[in-house]
């Protein structure tokens, strides 16, 4: 089974506010874009991924991620993360009703295509499935098989909420790169330890230089 991934990205100027202890205001938008670029590039390199749709209203992000090969979907509802994901999934299925669709976080800079393929292949066994984040509180991926609604419930305690919605939790080892989202400085250090993509690595080097 091949999947269409929908990846949400808020306006870069408002992204990654919890990294304020690690990155200055002027660097956080670039860091958020780098995370998204490395996430999209890795996703497009995954054999289980047919295509990627990024839902965003950020002009710069749309241009840069579109250049990587992602389809850009406008955040027309303007109703927050879950509304954006539901809208993007509906847009995808308006032209391809039988698509398998999965929502993926935009802040997975250490994402490895083979690990993502393993998660998606496992998700294909269930009508709806999800993968918890490294903290075992949130969710980094939510998948819906053909004919099934995505029903996203991202946000605080999304692991519990996705489980309560009937989605099956994927309990996989050795997929750390798919779990390691980045909200805090500690998260960024954990992602760097796994090995991040080239754009995040370049931005991390800037953090070190400008932090001196």
Annotated binding site for phosphoenolpyruvate: 139, 155, 158
**Pairing mode, strands 128-132 and 139-144:** antiparallel
Q: Which residues are annotated binding-site positions?
A: 139, 155, 158
Using DSSP's 3-state secondary structure scheme, residue 1 falls into coil
Rounded Cα distance between 158 and 102, Å, is 15
Q: How many CA atoms lie within 13 A of 132 on its CB side?
A: 19
Distances (CA, A) of 117 to 50, 158, 164: 11, 22, 25
- The structure tokens listed for 119 are 């998660």
């Amino acid at each position: 089974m091949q999947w269409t991934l929908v990846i949400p990205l808020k306006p870069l100027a408002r992204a990654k506010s919890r990294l304020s202890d690690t990155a200055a205001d002027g660097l956080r938008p670039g860091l958020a874009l780098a995370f998204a670029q490395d996430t999209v590039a890795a996703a497009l390199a995954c054999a289980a991924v047919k295509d990627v749709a990024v839902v965003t209203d950020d002009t710069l992000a749309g241009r840069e991620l579109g250049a990587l090969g992602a389809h850009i979907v406008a955040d027309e509802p303007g109703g927050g993360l879950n509304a954006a994901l539901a809208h993007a999934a509906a847009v995808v299925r308006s032209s391809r009703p039988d698509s398998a669709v999965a929502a993926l976080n935009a802040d997975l800079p250490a994402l490895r295509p083979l690990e993502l393929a393993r998660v998606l292949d496992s998700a294909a066994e269930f009508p709806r499935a999800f993968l918890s984040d490294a903290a075992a509180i949130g969710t980094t991926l939510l998948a819906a098989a053909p004919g099934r609604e995505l029903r996203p419930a991202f946000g605080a305690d999304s692991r519990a909420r996705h489980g309560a919605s009937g989605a099956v939790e994927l309990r996989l080892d050795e997929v750390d790169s798919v779990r390691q989202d980045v909200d805090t400085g500690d998260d960024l250090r954990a992602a760097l330890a796994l090995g991040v993509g080239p754009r995040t690595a370049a931005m991390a080097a800037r953090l070190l230089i400008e932090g001196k």
